[in-house]
Amino acid sequence: MINPFRKRFRRWINRRIPRSDVQSFSQKNIFILPTGAGLVFGLLLVIMLLTGINYQNSLIYLSTFLLGAVFVGAMHQTHRNLSGLELTLVQPGEGFAGDDIPFRFRLKAGRDDAIAILLSCEESGLAPVHVHSGRSLDVTLPVHSAHRGYLRPDRVRIETRFPFGLLKSWSWVRPVSSGLVFPRPVPAPEAFSTVEDGEESAEARSVEGNDHADIRPWREGDLSQRVLWKRFARTGQMVVADWEGEQGSPYWLDFNAYPGADHELRLSYLAFLVNERGKSGVRFGLNLPGQIIEPDSGPAHAARCLRALATWGEERPRDTMAEPHGTRRKPIGNSPQYAGEGRA
C-alpha cells in the first residue's frame, strides 16, 4: 500500500514541479506543515482551550489566543521565507566516482529576506544561509556519486523552519543539467597499446644507443623497457631515460590494451593513467571504441579525456524518465563489436 502511494505522490510532485535549472517559489509550489515541536505546541493549545472552557478562566483564554496568534504569525513568516525566492543551478560539478560532486546553486531573494534557508540532497546538506532581499548568494551543494556517468539529482530540497521551528516550509528543484562522474582511478598494470604510433614512435624506440638522454626518477605508469635496470642493480635507484628522439612522442592510452578486464575496470585503469599523464605534462592520446582523442598535453586535454571516459557508453538522462541520479546505461556487452570478447 505504501509503494503505490509514494509513486502517485512522486508523479504529482513531478507534474507540479517540472524539470528546470531555474525555479521560482510561490504559493503554487511551496508546501508547509507543522514540525514535531509544532504538533506538540498545537496539542498544548487545544488542552489549554479545553481547560479554559472547563473552568471559564479568562487568563487561560487570553494565553491560549495569544499563543495561537503567535503560531499563525509563525506560519505566515515561515511561508514568506521561501515566497519570491529564486534558485538557479549555476554549474553542475565533476569528480571521480565515490566522491561528493559539487553542484553550485545561486539563491536570489525577492522583496523579503530569505532567512535560515537549507539546501539538501539525499544524505548531504548545507548549513542554513541568509539571503537579503534583492540580493543573491552562491552556495555549493555536495552530491554523492556511486558510479561513473551523468549525475543529475532527482530532486534538491530547499527548506526553512524560521522563526520558531514550529513549522517547516519546503519545496524542490528538479535540475535539467547533469554533472559528470569520472571512473574511479585504479592503478593500471603494465600493458602495450595496440595503436600504431607511426614513424615518430618507431624512431623513438630505435635510439637505444643515443647518448643524448634526460635521466629522471621512475614515475607510476612508465614502461619497464625504459627503466635503466643496470643502474638500478648498482645503486638501487629506479630511473628512466627520456631519449632525445622521444621528445614530443605520443603515448597512446588504449582501451584494448587490457583484454582480460571488464569494461569498467579498463576505464578505471585509463582514468588512472590520464591522471598521471596530466600531472606530469606528458603528451598522450586516448583510444576508446568508437572514439579517438588525438595526442596532446596539458590540463585541458586531461579533462577532455576524463570526460570521454565518464560518458563512454552512457546516455544523457531523459527528462521524462527521472531516476535517482538520472543515469541510464547502454548494454555495452551486447554490442556487435564486443560479440567475441569475453566478459568479466
Element (H, E) at 312: none
Q: Are 227 and 239 in contact (CB under 8 A)?
A: yes
Q: Which of 144, 156, 150, 139 is CA-nearest to residue 101?
A: 144
Q: Which of 224, 296, 248, 341 is CA-nearest to residue 286?
A: 296
Which cell numbers hold the place of 64? 491560549
Please list the pLDDT of the chain residue by residue as tens digits (344 residues): 567 888 888 888 888 899 999 999 998 899 999 999 999 999 999 999 999 999 999 999 999 999 999 999 999 999 999 999 999 999 999 999 999 999 999 999 999 999 999 999 988 889 899 999 999 999 999 999 989 999 999 899 999 999 999 999 999 999 999 999 999 999 988 776 767 654 434 433 443 444 445 677 876 656 665 677 777 788 888 877 654 444 444 678 999 988 888 999 999 999 999 999 988 888 899 999 999 999 888 899 999 999 999 999 998 887 644 444 444 444 444 444 443 443 33
Element (H, E) at 118: strand 114-121
pTM (2 d.p.): 0.74
Q: Distance between CA atoms of 64 and 50, rounded to whole angstroms?
A: 10
Strands 251-254 vs 179-182: parallel, antiparallel or unpaired: unpaired
**SS3 state at 315:** strand
Q: Distance between CA atoms of 9 and 46, rounded to whole angstroms?
A: 31
Element (H, E) at 169: strand 167-173
Own/partner pairs for 185-190, CB < 8 Å, 24+ apart? Answer: 185/96, 185/268, 185/271, 185/272, 185/275, 186/265, 186/268, 186/269, 186/271, 186/272, 187/220, 187/269, 187/272, 188/221, 188/258, 188/269, 188/270, 188/272, 188/273, 189/258, 189/269, 190/223, 190/224
Q: Computed from CA positions of residues 123, 8, 323, 173, in that sequence, does the dihedral angle turn out positive or negative? A: negative
DSSP 247-273: TT--EEEEGGG-TTS-HHHHHHHHHHH
